[in-house]
Amino acid sequence: MKSLINSFKYAFNGIKYCWYNELSFRIHTVIAGWAVVMSIILNISYIEWVAVLSAIIFVLVCEMLNTSFEALNDLTHKKKNGYSKISKDVAAGAVLASVMYSIVIGCIIFIPKIIMIIQGT
């Protein structure tokens, strides 16, 4: 039981590390909060909630993996080299791809609802 509790403790430490040390993680978290608030205000459906929450988690997980790859590269490669740069760039690209996906999901779900509100229907 103690190892299970420690596993959760280590996991929360990882999330806490990202929050306090990674500006982009904080930015993504604030935007995620905004998306949740908009979802509540616009009264999205259950399936839309699944899409929004999946997109949020996808971005945050990619950001955390990117942080992990950067830390591991910095630890193992004191001098910059091509492979370290590739690893960091690909991890950053994964974050960008997840963000672009989330933007598309947000547009598909939120824009029609906002247009309906503006048109008064």
Domain boundaries, the chain: 2-119
Q: Is there a contact between 39 and 54 (Cβ–Cβ < 8 Å)? A: no
Burial-class residue 112 by CB neighbours within 10 Å (0-12, 13-18, 19+). Answer: exposed
Q: Which of these, 82, 80, 101, lies nearest to 90 by C-alpha position?
A: 82
Predicted local confidence at residue 56, as pLDDT: 98
> 2-119 architecture in CATH?
Orthogonal Bundle (1.10)
Is residue 25 within 8 A of residue 18, CB to CB? The reply is yes
Q: What are φ and ψ of residue 94, in 5° steps?
A: -65, -40
* Spatial distance between the Cα atoms of 3 and 35, rounded to a whole number of angstroms: 35
The series of mean pLDDT values per 10 residues for the chain, 121 residues long, is: 90 96 97 98 97 98 96 82 87 97 98 94 71
What's the whole-model pTM score? 0.90
